[in-house]
Chains A and B, each alone.
Chain A
Amino acid sequence: MNDTFSRRRLLSAGALGAGSLLLAGCDKLSKAGPFRDAMEGVGSLHFGAQRALMGDALAREFSEADMSPNFRANGSRTGAANADWASHAANNFAQWKLKVDGLVLRPLELSLDALKALPQRTQITRHDCVEGWSAIGKWQGPQLSAVLGMAGLLPSARFLVFHCADLYEGKPYYESLDLIEAHHAQTILAWQMNGQHLPVDHGAPIRLRSERQLGYKQAKYVMRIEARSTLAGLYGGKGGFWEDSRGYQWWAGI
Chain B
Amino acid sequence: MTDASDPPQVVKRHRLSTRLWHWINVVSVAIMLMSGLMIFNAHPRLYWGQYGANPDKAWLELPDFPGWITIPSYYSPADARVWHLAFAWVLGTAIAAYLIWSLINGHLKRDLLPKLSELSPGHLWQDIKDHAALRFPTGEAALAYNILQKLAYGGVLVVLLPGIILTGLAMSPGVDAAWHWLPELFGGRQSARSIHFLCAGGLVAFFIVHIAMVVLAGPVNEVRSMITGWYRLPQPRAKRSEDHE
Binding site for B on A (CB under 8 A): 19-20, 23-24, 26-27, 30, 36, 38-40, 42-43, 45-46, 50, 53-55, 57-60, 62, 66, 68-72, 126, 128-136, 211-214, 242, 246-249, 251-254
Contact = CB atoms under 8 A, between A and B. Distances in A.
A50 B172 contact: yes
Contacts of B85: 42-43, 46, 249, 254
Contact of B174 (A26, A38, A50, A130): A50
A54 B76 contact: no
A246 B38 CA distance: 14
B177 A54 contact: yes
Interface stretch (B42-50, B107-115, B139-147): B42-50
B234 interface: no
Given A54-B178, A57-B177, A212-B174, A132 B42 contact: yes
Interface in B10-31: 31
Interface residues of B, number: 47
Given A30-B82, A50-B175, A70-B56, 7 more contacts: A39-B87, A43-B86, A46-B172, A53-B179, A68-B55, A69-B55, A128-B173
B81 A133 contact: no
B61 interface: no
Interface of B: 31, 34, 39-40, 42-43, 45, 47, 50-56, 67-68, 71-74, 76-79, 81-83, 85-87, 89-90, 171-180, 183, 189-190, 193
B86 A213 contact: no
Contact of B43 (A54, A55, A133): A133
Q: Which one of A38, A70, A129, A212 has the greatest number of beta carbons of chain B within 10 Å?
A: A212
Contact of A126 (B34, B51, B67, B174): B51
Contacts of B174: 46, 50, 53-54, 212-213, 251, 253-254
Contact of B79 (A57, A70, A132, A247): A247
B46 to A, nearest CB: 9
B82 A43 contact: yes
B82 A68 contact: no
A131 B51 contact: no
Contacts, number: 151
B39 A132 contact: yes
A71 B52 CA distance: 9
A68 B56 contact: yes
Contacts of B51: 66, 68, 126, 134-136
A116 to B, nearest CB: 27
Contacts of B31: 26
B193 A132 contact: yes
B178 A53 contact: yes
A72 B53 contact: yes
A59 B50 contact: no
B195 to A, nearest CB: 13
Contacts of A72: 53-55
Q: Among B31, B68, B77, B175, which residue has the most Cβ atoms of chain A within 10 A?
A: B175
Contact of B178 (A57, A214, A252): A57
A170 B150 CA distance: 57
